[in-house]
Amino acid sequence: MSFEGIYGQDKQIAILRRSMEKGRIPHAFLFHGMRGVGKRTTATAFAKALLCERGSACGLCSACRKVESGNHPDAVVIKPQGQFIKIDDIRDLRNQMRFRPLEGPRRIFILVDAERMNIASANSLLKTLEEPSPVNVLVLVSSRPYQLPMTILSRCQKLRFHPIPADVVARYLGEKVGLDGETAAALAASSGGSIGRALEMHGESYLVRRKQFIEKICEGFSDPLKGIIFAGDFGKDRKEIQLRFEILKSWYRDLMVYKETGETKKLVHRDFAEAVESMAAGMTPSDILRALETVEWAYLALEKNANKQLTLEAMAFKLSGQA
């Protein structure tokens, strides 16, 4: 993929283009931002641009095709092996840097999930950053840059990748995945600005599961039995429980947005606008705020390994006003 195929990161791409045009390419970049917003895709496109035989990330020349397939000797991708990026991989990186590139004018190393370097790996990489070479470019890709040592952060040019606007995510889903406008808009609104997350949701039948869960929310918790059933609907899988909490938080967020603005265009769950209007009509802003606080309390309690069933049931009773 070339720079033209990247959605929602025009400013970041402009910075990279400008550095190439001026011939002032930093020896180390840190591409950071939330997961699924195009950091690694941009790093690959940047590698193509640096190695392209036509100087434009054309995607057609031999160099671009090799980068795309992962077979270019001067475009090296380093990933975690298990939990960490191993020190042997960093040592191999340093060894390669001692020699000139094999085919292109430069060599580019892309460290995926760079924050997963252990102390030994990070210290080894630091030695490389302290002795930069003009023909080697490092790109660290991270969604948790705060976990990287400050000594490494201070030696990289930071390029932050922002959440992508919902309309751009929807356009991507329509153009690249072929989704209809309504489905694309619903996934985009729930993705939090991440194309990667939107694609995951599509693959996991998120909209079907979301619909079923929102219907449960709309049924309410008018008696203790309904509260217990609602708590049981969260399931046992950690990922599934987190998904339901995300939906629940965004649902009450939508109630507050509608209560304060009377508009539906900014709702996450715009396809449930009538249900939002109906539920919001029976609640005050203080009620909605207490509900949000209750959901957040339950989420944090489970993160601290509180009893799952008791916590979820207590949350349901509080949301119903019974506790």
Over the stretch 39-63, which tens digit does the pLDDT of each residue have? 999 999 999 999 998 877 788 899 9
- pLDDT (mean) for 124-142: 90
pLDDT value for 235: 78
Alpha-carbon gap, residue 95 to 102, rounded angstroms: 14
pLDDT value for 231: 85
Over the stretch 238-249, which tens digit does the pLDDT of each residue have? 888 988 999 999
% the chain with pLDDT above 90: 70
Domains of the chain, by residue range, sit at: 3-161, 204-319
Side chain identity at residue 3, one-letter code:
F
- pLDDT (mean) for 253-280: 93
Instruction: Categorize the per-residue pLDDT at 4 as very low, low, confident or very high, splitting at 50, 70 and 90.
Output: confident
Tokens encoding 15:
């910075």
Does 295 have pLDDT greater than 70? yes
pLDDT value for 130: 85
Does 323 have pLDDT greater than 50? no
Note whether 29 and 139 are within 8 A (CB): yes
Over the stretch 74-127, which tens digit does the pLDDT of each residue have? 999 999 988 999 999 999 999 999 889 999 899 999 999 999 999 999 999 998
Over the stretch 20-38, which tens digit does the pLDDT of each residue have? 999 899 999 999 999 999 9
Give Cα separations from 160 to 11, 34, 42, 120 (angstroms): 10, 9, 12, 26
Residue 283 falls in which region: left (phi positive, over 0), alpha (psi -120 to 50) or beta = beta
Tokens encoding 116:
């997963």
Over the stretch 264-273, which tens digit does the pLDDT of each residue have? 988 999 999 9
Over the stretch 310-320, which tens digit does the pLDDT of each residue have? 999 899 888 88
pTM: 0.83
pLDDT value for 222: 67
Residue 61 C-beta-side C-alpha neighbours within 13 Å: 16
pLDDT value for 63: 93
Does 131 have pLDDT greater than 60? yes
pLDDT value for 172: 95
- Name the DSSP class of 112: T
Does 322 have pLDDT greater than 70? no
CATH topology of domain 3-161: Rossmann fold (3.40.50)
Over the stretch 152-211, which tens digit does the pLDDT of each residue have? 999 999 999 999 999 999 999 999 999 999 999 999 999 999 999 999 999 888 899 999
